[in-house]
Amino acid sequence: MRAKLIGIGSNRLLARVSDTSSPVARAMSLARFDEAGLLIGLIVLVLIIGIPHPEFFEFGSIKTLLRQCALVGIMAFGMVYLVSMTDIDLSVGGIYAVAVTASALMIKSGIDPWIAVLLSLFIGAALGAFNSIVTAALDVPLIIVSLGTLSVFFGLNLIISDASPIFGMPRDHLFFRIFGGEFLGLPASAWVMFAVGVALHFLFFHTRFGATVRAIGANRAAADFIGVKVDRVRLYATALTGMLCALSAAMTLAYFKAVDPSMGEQKELLVIAAVVIGGTSLAGGSGTILGAFLGVLIINVIDSGIVFFGVDPNYARFVTGCVILAAIALDRFVKRRRQLSDELQSHL
């Protein structure tokens, strides 16, 4: 009898997230179009930089911008799932570092680059899953566990790389020519980011797994009570995020064809900032892949603007923080106006 009730409750909770007639679902549906404020903020930033510096609109600058966005964006898409569950993985930079170093070492030892990259994806997924396993075993928040594994993974990276750069990649290999080059005029890594973004958007909004992720974020206690395997879903989400970190690392290796032991440092801050700026709620229950992409764009456009305006490096971080706060404020203003408008229409 209890199993039957749990099954019914699970279906109802997931239906509540998916059904457009429920308040939660209306919030989800609204969130999909809540990127308007971010888009306005991005356009304003682009005009502020591009009007006095027309070279910002040159195709070469755009390609560089997209390449930089791809390396962070691929990881940010995975983080959307975790933040939607009210979890945060601080170790993504460490996973990225271990994956890029491991793949480079395997390639240098004679392993075919395709196989090395596939193995690095498995390593990334395993490290991500390790975070979830420890979280469940110790019954502590993922953010606390990942704070520790961040140092563990970066330390492991220094050990296996001997804290030295890695060179000597087979530049003429098909892997490096495909993913280190361009396709239809754009960096291959940007196309990979677009493909991953579309796939994860579909997974998030149109599959049972995505609905479960959002249901857990909306009410974790209720999801656990009705029989949703919260720890198992978190395991899948952290493994997915870890694999995406490794995929980003593979794109990095394909382009630079070399590895520095410092790669990955501060990546976690950029990833989390992009997701939060993009509109994924830290309170859980909702998320947006498109918003994460716009968040990554905003961060990289700001960095480009600092270069074009010749801002003193000592002020660069300060300026970046201020503009990010302004973008968040504008986005929240647009959302509140829209929510008020919807409330007024509902009373009419």
In a domain? residue 1: no
pLDDT at 139: 86
Q: Which amino acid is at 289?
A: I
The C-alpha atoms of residue 236 and residue 228 are separated, in whole angstroms, by 13
221 CB neighbour count, 10 Å cutoff: 9
Burial of residue 42 (number of CB atoms within 10 Å: 0-12, 13-18, 19+) = middle
Q: Establish if 242 belongs to a structural domain.
A: yes
Task: Give residue 310's pLDDT.
Answer: 81
Task: Identify the CATH number of the domain in which residue 48 sits.
Answer: 1.10.3470
With respect to residue 208, please indicate whether it lies within any of the assigned structural domains: yes
Tell whether 347 is covered by a domain.
no
Whole-number percent of the chain with pLDDT over 90: 30
Query: Does residue 72 lie in a domain region?
Result: yes
Written as one string, the DSSP assignment of 158-201 is HHHHTTS-B----TTSHHHHHHTSEETTEEHHHHHHHHHHHHHH
Question: For residues 179-218, b (16+ Cβ closer than 10 Å) or e, as one string?
Answer: bbeeeeebbbbbbbbeebbeebbebbbeeeebbbbbbbbb
Structural domain total, the chain: 1
In a domain, 19, yes or no: no
**Start-end of H helices in the chain:** 2-18, 23-31, 36-50, 59-84, 92-108, 113-138, 142-161, 174-179, 188-206, 208-218, 220-225, 230-256, 267-277, 289-308, 313-347
Look up the domain containing 307 and give its range. Answer: 25-339
Position 328 scores a pLDDT of 66
User: How many residues belong to the chain?
Assistant: 348
- Cα–Cα distance measured from residue 162 to residue 303, given in angstroms and rounded to the nearest whole number: 31
Spatial separation of the C-alpha atoms in residues 96 and 154, rounded to whole Å: 9
> Is residue 243 domain-resident?
yes
Question: Region 98-108: what's the mean pLDDT?
Answer: 92
Helix (H, G, I), strand (E, B) or coil at 33: coil
Within a domain: residue 148?
yes
Whether the predicted pLDDT of 251 surpasses 80: yes
Contact 82, 237 (CB under 8 A): yes
Task: Report whether pLDDT(98) > 90.
Answer: yes
Position 340 scores a pLDDT of: 79
Nearest to 169 by CA among 290, 258, 92: 258
For the chain, give the mean pLDDT: 82
- State pLDDT tens for residues 265-322: 888 888 888 888 887 877 777 788 888 999 899 888 888 888 888 877 777 677 767 7
pLDDT in the model for residue 23: 43
Which residues face 259 on adjacent strands? 166
pLDDT at position 75 is 93
pLDDT of residue 11: 52
